[in-house]
Structure 1
Amino acid sequence: MEVSPLVWGLTIAGIVGLLLFDFYFHVRKAHVPTLREAAIWSALYVGIAIMFGLGVLLLGGPTPGGEYFAGYITEKALSVDNLFVFLIIMSSFRVPREDQQKVLLFGIAFALVARTGFIFVGAALINTFAWVFYLFGLVLILTAGNMLKSDHDDAETADNFVVRLSRKVIPATDHYDGDKLFTIQDGKRVMTPMLLVMVAIGGTDILFALDSIPAIFGLTQNTYLVFTAVAFSLLGLRQLFFLIEGLLDRLIYLSYGLAAILAFIGVKLILHALHENNVGFINDGEPVPVTEISTSVSLSVILGVLVVVVVASLVSPAGKARNAISNARRHAEDYLDSEYTSDPAERERIYDLLLAERDQIIALGPKYRQKARNEQELMALLQRARDSHDSAVDRGEARATGPSKLLPPRA
């Protein structure tokens, strides 16, 4: 599929326009998006991506259309996995709720710029060296193995090398000053945690690209389709975060599904490399007669794996329990952090979520209720959150609620 410079220019202008629209009309003024707002705009961005794909299908034919949708779905799934790390980073840096949108939009913009660079480098390598497909395939298979071996490391993702270097080079304060990146402390200009968290997210975005870009090149080698699939998968990620953040820990099998998809694409790349082989020590530099995996098979496998792991995660009692316990811990910390939000309604919403998670744990039965009780740090957090809320009730700043069965009785 040939794409003219005019189409390239219009596409880039449209994507930049969507980012600017997002900033000026949603992120510029600090606020916490409602569930309805997040749902509407998430659906809109997904709709734009689907409409674009239908246009590719209509104008380019079934093969480019299938490649675009396979790439978009894979990149979207990888982006959801990235949201786990974003949540860890923002929780670690205690980013105020009202300013989280700005941090996320920066992360998306940085990821788009960084991945665009990787895309053009990858395309140049592929056009110059056919053996790069072997390398990309091996990277994806190793990445799949690492996904199965371990979960995200909170300390590693929230305090990576880039952040540690920034702390050494530029003095930083421990407190936020609105959404400012720098502030004045003791007469000196210092950076705020807002800049550090943006550096952390930017640094991890570069790591994400190391598996994201080889994966998309395993599904299509058309640079335009690669770029648009990656771009549309990132657009709307901010809204998606606020829409599903309470469900992230419930997707306990997502990493297994993504590992299977990356391994599948890795094998597909290696088969393609063998089919196009010109490496001297493999079959004397001649192509190897192997069966290649078609775009329709790739799309079917990707969709099938994602449906299975998402459904299995959502119906799993262990997933429900882990999600409720993790969210209860996070919401208790948020409620107790006086700098987390200045909106009384938002604080009350957080406490309501905490009560709902308590009820979820109770409803799951004695096994998971006892699991929550065994986490002493969580019990202490819940006790402090209840005491803080009761004090707010006494001052008339919050409404009264019933006692929590999960909490120990007051002394």
Structure 2
Amino acid sequence: MKFSMVQMAALALALGVSAAPAFEKRDCDEDTGFGRNSSGNARSTTGLRPSSGFGNSGSASSSGFANLNGLKAAAASSSTTKKSSKTTTTKASKATTTDSSDSDSKASATDDSSAATSTKASKSSAAKSSGAAATTKASSTSGSSSDSSGGSLPASSGTSVLSAAQTIAAGDSFDGGMVMFDRGVSCTGQAEGGDSDAVFQIENGGSLSNVIIGPNQIEGVHCQGACTLTNVWWSAVCEDAFTVKNQDAGETTKIIGGGAFGADDKVVQHNGAGTISISDFTVDTFGKLYRSCGNCDSMYERHVIMDGISATDGTMLAGINSNYGDSATITNSVVTGVDDVCVTFTGTDDNSQEPTENGSGNDGTYCIYGSDVVVS
């Protein structure tokens, strides 16, 4: 049978198929020193800070704050993957530092967060995602220190990289399901950041639970008032782990459980007034577990209550300003390789000046602790 050229061309077109292969597209406070009694060199925590493990989020704008509903959905979906094996502890070498008191520590309200939009949290942890600025992986990851019951970083149920600080609205709560959250940026050491550099920002009365803050971030968690943290962990602290701002006298922020590792200087920075209560908390390789701001523009009487602390390799548990009437009450704690349990300073409201150390140890008035604080 003979075919004309037109018929043969039509037949070839009808029988032809596209075999082109498809390829997946991939996105490859101011204590100006870093502790006390030294030349000002920062403590090395390189061994505690993983160099990778988080991707970049390309799903949302870098301005504003991330969407909480999407994070809750991500946490709910990824929390089903658990890692049962315990991880081993890696400790960075301890170095001495000079006292510093945070100039981000101006007790002024919300730094640069005024340009950001706060997204009100949904009460349901299974809320549907609506474009949350996060990249979540359900694969389990482990931290650089041992199991949570033994005082080390617990395994995470997944990872999430936020393109903007995540706000928890006043009175709302967020349960992260043990997902590890960070910002996908390198730590900038003791350079001051702002609210927009935080991983989570909690408004007055808000609460955060069951979260691991990853290493690739700058400012950790900020609280704008009194808030509650339950079982929150920091795998590698950058500038500070947790900063409390704008809290009023008579209010109390609570930190229940959790822990922090590899802090060059401060873990908890207290810039507002009132009290911070820290219980059943683990801290390893650090400068100060708690510091009442020593040179904020607005100074207040501040108090810290610590109970059930497990502290290893640090400079001090508490640094307070006796001239402003601060106090630190510490009970039922085990302290190993820490220079001082409690140190008093003379604080100042001149941000260009540094606070001066004036004493240490149990004095019964400012630094208060007894034989149930075991020091070795």
Same fold by TM-score greater than 0.5:
no
TM-score range, shorter chain: under 0.3
- Relative contact order (alpha carbons < 8 A, sep ≥ 6): 1 or 2 greater? 1
Using the size of structure 2 for normalisation, the TM-score is 0.27
Structure with the bigger percentage of strand: 2
Structure with the bigger percentage of helix: 1
Using the size of structure 1 for normalisation, the TM-score is 0.25
